[in-house]
A and B are shown apart, each in its own frame.
Chain A
Amino acid sequence: MIKNILNLGDSAIYCDFGSEVNKEINHEVIKYFKTLTSKNIKGITNLAPSYNKLIITFDLDVINYKELVEKIINLKLDEISETASKRKKIPICIDEEFALDIDRVSKNTNLNIKEIYQHILNKDFYCYMTGFVAGMPFLGDTNKNIRLKRLETPRVKVPKGSVGITEQFCNIYSYESPGGWNIIGNTPVKVFDENKEENPILIEPGDSIQFYEITKNEFYKIKGIK
């Protein structure tokens, strides 16, 4: 449930679902997000779901804070159907060429490489939110034994497609960008394709994914590089 509704400036509503990060709370956020998306309320311009908050922006020429809060309070929530939240399989290559921080992860967790990937491959990960940059999914939760801090000095350039872990989360760098997550592999698929608005691989908030291992050859084949 929403614990508190506040204004964020004059043209956004800030719905606070609590301070904890867990699937149950996030599931509530996603329920509101999906319901509001399907209701198509006039004046809403954007919805930003995150771990435990939902920010709703609106067009002040169409609706104001009070009017929209009323609608949010009286909202009848849709149950999330199985089809609304998709399950996707994402190929990942864990060759040392791509697993840039695997030695660091191994050292800091006291697990060998095989044990680490047992916690990553073919395990269900839930998408709490997508963003920061286009298409970057914040996935969780990782097993308690592989939870680490970020790199002390972030990389200036993390290669596109890199899969990284930090704390209880796992993400995919949808663009080459600076970043401090522990990189353990790379996916050749474009999780965000700017040319495809109907993008089948895009991981949206509420979706579930599994990583499956591919070889280096398969990696380059999917990338289209021979």
Chain B
Amino acid sequence: MSIEVIRPGLNTTFQDRGRSNFYHLGIPFSGAMDTRNLLITNKLVGNDRDDAVIEFALQGPKLKIKQNNINCVVTGNVNFTFKKNSKIFNGECYKTFDLNNNDEIDIISTNNSMYGYFSVSGGFQIEKKWNSYSTHLRSRLGPNKGNKIIENDILKLNKNLKPIIKKSVQYANSKIEFIRVIKGTNFDYFSKDSQKYFFESQYQVTNLTDRMGMRLDGYKLNNIKSENIKSEGLIKGVIQVPPDGNPIIMLSDHGTIGGYPKIGVIISADYDKIVQIPPMSKIKFKMIDVSNAEKLFKLYSMETKNILDQI
């Protein structure tokens, strides 16, 4: 019972809901960048919410199934095809399909987004490392010895103990006008103009974007306080500003300590959205306060629950 990796894709890893309680040792949350899609993926194939899925970025893997009756699903905004009994079909996201021995699935690319997900009923035969199935490449932590999935890897599958039920759901990553941001702990380090233009101008997502962080290009933010901050903890969603004035957003695999001033933090409800924005896109920030961010998170949680309840 396995899947053979014919082509690995650009950045293909096992991920689950993330790894808690190790920030103090330098280990970030990691986990699926887009949590909602992870939950949908697991629910569609009948797996547990804490099970692992395969995450891919931009270009996905090409896989060969080595077992009959494997129930698969792809989520995200993804172009893919599958070859069943030597016939090629166009794949449809958020809809399970079953494949047999020697059938193939070719995840060509994500469409105007960064991350997509793949899983099978029963899940993958992998072990938790430091309490999670998530892969953190920088500390080589996780299944597959903390590495990316590479060509010729054999991904072992668990036996699916549940009956296969065809499932689908209507879902599309929502388009957003603004990424909502709460003022950071060093907001007053920046000039009045910078505070203003941070929210009024557009920023471009650069190619220097990965699971660790997203570098932006746009209005250069002017730090008017001369003193540097002493190195301190970081969390995902923090927007740091190094001396060159271009903001960097910390994402799930970020280094846990940093010394650049924090101008803002992305609200939890918008995290799944920011991570999906591909390089060269323009984004705009909007300032909101904690109580509104909490309300928006409740809404986000409710929406997630509603989608999962439909499956």
Contact = CB atoms under 8 A, between A and B. Distances in A.
Contacts of A46: 20-24, 29, 235
Given A6-B185, A8-B185, A60-B297, A135 B25 contact: yes
Interface string B156-200: 000000000000000000000000001011000000000000000
Q: How large is the interface on B (under 10, 10 to 19, 20 to 34, 35 or more residues)?
A: 35 or more
Contacts of B233: 48-50, 53-55, 131
Interface of A: 6-12, 14, 19, 21, 33, 45-55, 57, 60-61, 64-65, 129-136, 138, 174-175, 192, 194, 197, 202, 204-205
A47 B232 contact: no
Interface stretch (B62-70, B109-117, B133-141): B133-141
Is chain A's interface secondary structure helix, strand, loop, or mixed overall?
loop
A54 B256 CA distance: 12
B24 A10 contact: no
Q: Could you say which of A9, A45, A138 has the most chain B C-beta atoms within 10 Å of its C-beta?
A: A9
B24 A49 contact: yes
Q: Could you say which of B258, B266, B290 has the most chain A C-beta atoms within 10 Å of its C-beta?
A: B290
B24 A132 contact: no
Given A7-B290, A46-B20, A50-B257, A57 B235 contact: yes
Contact of A130 (B20, B26, B141, B265): B26
Interface in B1-55: 20-27, 29
B257 A192 contact: no
Contact of B255 (A65, A132, A135, A202): A132
B231 interface: yes
12 contacts: A8-B238, A8-B262, A9-B235, A46-B23, A50-B231, A130-B26, A132-B231, A134-B25, A134-B26, A134-B141, A135-B25, A138-B257
A77 B229 CA distance: 27
Contacts of A12: 235, 265
B105 interface: no
B62 to A, nearest CB: 29
Nearest to B229: A19
Contact of A131 (B26, B146, B267): B26
A55 B131 CA distance: 21
B120 interface: no
B25 A10 contact: no
A8 B255 CA distance: 17
B25 A202 contact: yes
B129 interface: yes
Given A55-B23, A134-B26, 11 more contacts: A6-B185, A7-B290, A11-B268, A46-B22, A46-B29, A49-B24, A51-B231, A132-B255, A132-B258, A135-B25, A205-B24
B25 A129 contact: no
Interface in B254-272: 255-258, 262, 265-268
Top-6 shortest CB links A-B: A48-B233, A9-B265, A131-B26, A134-B139, A10-B293, A55-B233
Contact of A132 (B140, B235, B257): B257
Contacts of A197: 129-131
A132 B232 contact: no
Q: Could you say which of A7, A10, A14, A52 has the most chain B C-beta atoms within 10 Å of its C-beta?
A: A10
Given A10-B290, A131-B25, A175-B139, A50 B230 contact: yes
B301 A61 contact: yes
Contacts of B24: 33, 46-49, 129-131, 204-205
Contacts of B267: 9-10
Contact of B27 (A21, A49, A52, A134): A134
B91 interface: no
B21 to A, nearest CB: 6
B257 A135 contact: no
